[in-house]
Structure 1
Amino acid sequence: MSSNTDRKSQEHTNETSNQDTASLPQRPNSGARSYPTVSIFGLPFSKMDMQETVNYLSDVIHLRVPTQVITGNPIMVMAGLEDPDYYRVMEEAELIVPDGAGVVWASGYVGQPVKERVAGFDLMHRLLETGEKHRWSVFLLGTTQETIEESAERLKQLYPLIRFVGARNGFFGPGEDAEVIEEIRRANPDMLFVARALNNQEPWIGRYKHELGVPVMMGVGGSFDIIAGKLKRAPVLFQKLRLEWFYRLLQQPSRYKRMLVLPKFMLKVVREKENVTKRRPTP
């Protein structure tokens, strides 16, 4: 009797343990994602909401699993469909969050809605808030030296318990990659936020993520410009109406060519609705 009871108790313990670990990040090269996704033209966008995403990345940091986070939007999806190398970088990223309102719309249109938009700017701040409790360390990389230093100072004021272990501008070429990687490795941060141009932000992280070995590596686009006060973020009303892209266009009219991709993306989703969620072979 005692033996049966002990066996049942052990089985219950094993089941509980399996349930607890099922949602944890997979080890590198596991080939599996332990969170729900929706495929948008073959690219696996996370269905997790903001809090679930923060929890997931907290586990990533705890386990020290190198993880590339892409804050995906329609412009990036379309860029990937036109450039096989860029597509491969996105497909192989450990986590793509639905940053763009167009991605949120597309997931709902094809009947597999994400829970909510997970904006990269907000995700970065939520991770920093969480990081204060654990004394996480951060390295900032990208934009101009003036902007990155101003961003670092402002973030230190907002999150005094975060350890900022490095800040470097993003104006370096392939010949300096090894030097930058070594600087980041020496700093050994828990999180690396990168702000570079679209064509080398995600590809650079993807190319060197295993050499860098940082648990959370995330491209943050123009976030440092907003933090440093160079640009203003869209008012809440624009965010709720999913018009943040339009507000940014008003501030930077030179971006209009990039914005023309948005209607092309929507038209492509409508025309290819039955095939949007089907997995595509890597180009």
Structure 2
Amino acid sequence: MIRASVRFRNGTGEAIRRGFDIAVALIVGLLGLLVALPCWLGLLRSGEAIVGLPRYGRGGQRFVEYRFRAVPGRWGRYLRALGLDRWPMLWNLLKGDLTLVGPRAVAPDDRLLTERLAARRFSDRPGLVCLWWVRRRANIAYESELESDLEYVESRGWWSNWGIAFRAAVSACWGLSTRTEADRINVLGVSVANRTMRQALDSIETWSGRKEPRQVCFVNADCANWAARHATYRACVNQADMTLADGIGLKLAGRLLGTHFIENVNGTDLFPRLCAQLQRTQRSLFLLGARPGVAQAVADWIDVHFPGVRIAGVRHGYFEPEVADEVVRTIRASRADIVLVALGAPRQDLWIREHLHEMGCSVAIGVGGLFDYYSGRVRRAPRWVRELCLEWLFRFSQEPSRLWRRYWIGNGVFLVRVLAQRFLGWYQHDSRQDSCELDVRGKVKP
């Protein structure tokens, strides 16, 4: 038993929670007798089917967690991806070692036990599912597991548990990837770097102190569609120093192509973490793009939330190509280390590529509609919607007349193209694609 400061929950709410745990264990356990047990026993054929693993639970009490023994081979990987190896844990749920939703039960040799705040996670029973598990399946587990557990412990309640359980049920449909994680993944001819949020930020921090300018792009399903049709844009994102996977479309593409993107590294989630990094490193930031007044509103947001960040300058994105040189001179005179360009794809990436060596910055990043979110002009989907991988649907609901073609037609076209890449070998090389060219405004040249 480890020592922990524990405040046990009691009363009617805890009794209802316990009763619900028992009901779930009995109902799902009986159903599992018809599915999980025959599958596992049939694959094992001999030897012990169930193993006991030591774990720490509420108050640091040690207990034995039951699971099916690992089955070798492809079918074993598929069954584990579906979570069927966890079926014997329903006995732990019935006994009261576990609850349906809670922090993950940790092993005696788990590194989480050595972290300073780890004892706080033992104020509740561990769960069959946890908040971090849900976020990991949605590719948005940017915080550490301990941070997610502490977030749950601080905000736990009847309704939040119901919400996590529902999101876990939806997330389970994704399964966990049984594929390897390649360093780079080709999606419709675009070589996408398979990075975590932390790795992306580390690269930006390293580059921000160097003289050689670097370009960072984010590619979502719509960008991939553009790249599949236009060689100029495809070459632009392929020549960028880091091209990152943005959105559920790329996650689906990875699955269909037999590989796995580690995280959804999108600009909107990267931005506050980048600001925290800039506050620490004292690097400066220039904001270019969006409607008049929006970039300044983002600068005001930064001043409130990250007062140590140096804003080198702001400029709206409603300018004609004829004044591009003036905009570039303004950026160069600001001596900004990092420039965020929010002109929309593909225009922003083509514009950065054309002016990268003239701006005098270390890193230029195309960030799409990021400014609209942090200026307050557009509301972003709540975290629970993102955990369900439905941020695109929330975004569509805000501007259906503008986004219906992109989401309802474009996403379908994207998935068809990915399937063609997987089974017909298309989009493996740029030479197989159309050679339409785009100008810096993202328009097809006549």
- With structure 2 as the length reference, what TM-score do the two structures score? 0.54
- The counterpart of 1:166, out of the listed 313, 326, 335, is 313
Other-structure match for 2:323: 176
Work out whether residues 110 and 277 of structure 1, in 8 Å CA contact, stay in contact via their aligned partners in 2.
Answer: no
Distance 1:278 1:267 in 2: 15
Identity %: 27
Work out whether residues 421 and 427 of structure 2, in 8 Å CA contact, stay in contact via their aligned partners in 1.
Answer: no
Distance 1:210 1:165 in 2: 18
Other-structure match for 1:21: none
Question: How many residues end up aligned between the 2 structures?
Answer: 249
Gaps of 5+ in 1: 1-34
Other-structure match for 1:257: 405
Other-structure match for 2:418: 269
Distance 2:378 2:309 in 1: 24
SS at match of 1:232: coil
Q: What amino acid is aligned across from residue 74 of structure 1 in structure 2?
A: A
Distance 2:395 2:333 in 1: 36
Work out whether residues 39 and 276 of structure 1, in 8 Å CA contact, stay in contact via their aligned partners in 2.
Answer: no
Gaps of 5+ in 2: 1-181, 436-446
Work out whether residues 39 and 279 of structure 1, in 8 Å CA contact, stay in contact via their aligned partners in 2.
Answer: no
Give deviations 1:16-69, integer Å, cap 9, x for gaps: xxxxxxxxxxxxxxxxxxx92111122111111110111111111122331111
Give deviations 1:140-164, integer Å, cap 9, x for gaps: 0011221111111111111111100
Distance 1:130 1:200 in 2: 27
Query: Which of 1 and 2 has higher RCO (CA within 8 Å, sep 6+)?
Result: 1
| Within-5 A mapping of 1:107-256 | 107-253=254-400, 254-256=402-404
- Structure 1 position 239, deviation (Å): 1.0
Does residue 221 of structure 2 align to residue 71 of structure 1? Answer: no
Distance 1:37 1:125 in 2: 25
Work out whether residues 38 and 277 of structure 1, in 8 Å CA contact, stay in contact via their aligned partners in 2.
Answer: no
- Normalized per residue, the structure richer in helix is 1
Other-structure match for 2:231: 84
Question: For residues 52 and 197 of structure 1, do their structure 2 counterparts lie closer, same or farther at Cα, with a shift above 3 Å needed?
Answer: closer
Misfit runs of 4+, over 6 Å: none
Other-structure match for 1:28: none
Question: For residues 65 and 108 of structure 1, do their structure 2 counterparts lie closer, same or farther at Cα, with a shift above 3 Å needed?
Answer: farther
Q: What amino acid is aligned across from residue 88 of structure 1 in structure 2?
A: A
Q: What amino acid is aligned across from residue 155 of structure 1 in structure 2?
A: I
SS at match of 1:164: strand
SS at match of 1:62: coil
- Structure 1 position 241, deviation (Å): 1.9
- With structure 1 as the length reference, what TM-score do the two structures score? 0.83
Distance 2:184 2:295 in 1: 33
Q: What amino acid is aligned across from residue 232 of structure 1 in structure 2?
A: R
